[in-house]
Amino acid sequence: MASAPATGAAESFDAVRPRLIRIAYRMLGSVADAEDVVQDAFLRWLAVDREAVREPAAFLTRVVTRLCLDQLKSARHRRETYIGPWLPEPVLETEDEVEDVTLPLLLALERLTPLERAAFLLHDVFGLGFEEIGETIGREPATCRQLASRARSHVRGSRPRFDMPREKGLEIAHAFFAASRGGDMTRLQSLLAADVAVYSDGGGKKPASLKIITGIQEVMRLQAGLSRFFAESMSKLVRYGFINGLPGFVTVERDGTLQTTALDIRDGEIVGIYVTRNPDKLKHIGTAVVQ
């Protein structure tokens, strides 16, 4: 049986665990790495003199952020040697939550330095003041303000330009699935923007394009080739939903591969198609969604 102090520590930690997971995931782009970081933070929470901690949430935010900054140093090297386009691990939204950081924004964050990323997320997403951010990342508040400002300018184009009704997004996802799997190339082309791009992440473990496919002609050529495979063996639709803030769907493909497809839709047209096939990035989804 756990001791009373340990039980109290667990209860106080669990109260802020969801927020810590959100911070770590947005910093790292990996569900597994985020969970590891938060677990490490919990072990440190058990070891600290908790009576001396005036604000547990602020203290734990600092711990998790610093652990993420350390993790990003090795993560950056892994992504430089990654096979094909890298995408963050997909997160499926539930009906009572709305993702505040969309997949295109997560990708844009990859171009920032770790400190810019931390300052931007803590201030613009989680609402921390620059004094607290400075204590967290070991920089002066004025420096943190500059870091966040630079980050904001870099990611500005990746933030949603308008709020599209969720029902409309799912309607387009339905139409894309039906046209792409049914071989209706005319209907499919009508859904795509001229500068549409396809990002397919197989991580060298599942078949996927080794480069980003850009432009409607190249994307339609890709889709025409895929339509022959779908004609032989139709994808099994698991569910529609929102993936990292974007409408999309989960499927099981002909080789048994679990796959997520998320669609970036702007002005009613699909400008980005994000396909995750790397099984290492889908473990947290797993068989729970495949009924």
Q: At residue 135, does pLDDT exceed 60?
A: yes
> Nearest Cα to 229, choosing from 214, 251, 198, 211?
251
Is 170 in the same domain as 241?
yes
The stretch 258-281 carries a mean pLDDT of: 96
Q: Tell me what the pLDDT averaged over the chain comes to.
A: 90
**Structural domain count of the chain:** 3
Over residues 3-30, the mean pLDDT reads 87
Q: Which residue has the higher pLDDT, 82 or 6?
A: 82
Q: Which residues pair with 260 in a beta bridge?
A: 250, 276
Q: Tell whether 87 is covered by a domain.
A: no
What CA–CA distance (Å, rounded) separates 10 from 223?
50
**pLDDT band for position 1 (50/70/90)?**
very low
**108 vs 155, 233, 272, CA distance in Å?**
6, 35, 13
Domain boundary among 143, 159, 175: 159
Domain termination residue (choose one: 81, 113, 128):
81
97 inside domain: no
Instruction: Please choose, from the candidates 101, 51, 56, the residue with its C-alpha nearest in 3D space to the C-alpha of residue 246.
Output: 101
247 found inside a domain? yes
Judged against a pLDDT cut of 80, whether residue 289 lies above it is answered with no
Cα distance between residue 205 and residue 14, in whole Å: 35
Position 94 scores a pLDDT of 74
Residues 30-65 have pLDDT tens digits of 999 999 999 999 999 999 999 899 999 999 999 999
260/165: higher pLDDT: 260
> Is 214 contained in some domain?
yes
Same domain, 208 and 183: yes
Same domain assignment for residues 277 and 202: yes
Listed in sequence order, the residues at least 6 apart from 74 whose beta carbon sits closer than 8 Å to its beta carbon are none
The tokens of 277 are what?
């096939």
What is the pairing mode between strands 192-201 and 269-276? parallel
- pTM assigned to the model: 0.90
Question: Residue 231: what pLDDT?
Answer: 86
Question: Which of 159, 175, 191 marks a domain boundary?
Answer: 159
pLDDT surpasses 80 at 270: yes
Residues 176 and 274 in one domain: yes
Is residue 150 included in any domain, yes or no? yes
Residue 120 has pLDDT above 60, yes or no: yes
pLDDT digits (tens, 9 = 90+) for 137-194: 999 999 999 999 999 999 886 665 556 888 999 999 999 999 999 999 999 999 999 9
Q: In this structure, are 147 and 237 located in the same domain?
A: no
Q: Is the pLDDT of residue 17 over 50?
A: yes
Task: Note whether 199 and 275 are within 8 A (CB).
Answer: yes
pLDDT value at residue 34: 95
Contact 141, 184 (CB under 8 A): no
Residue 29 lies in a domain: yes
Query: Residue 162's pLDDT is what?
Result: 52
Q: Are residues 260 and 170 in the same domain?
A: yes
- Are 203 and 278 contacting, i.e. CB atoms less than 8 angstroms apart? yes
Q: What is the Cα–Cα distance from 67 to 34, expressed in whole angstroms? A: 10
Measured in residues, the chain has a length of 291
Q: Which domain holds residue 134?
A: 103-159
Q: Is residue 111 part of a domain?
A: yes
For residue 55, give the CATH number of its domain. 1.10.1740
CATH number of the domain that 136 lies in?
Answer: 1.10.10
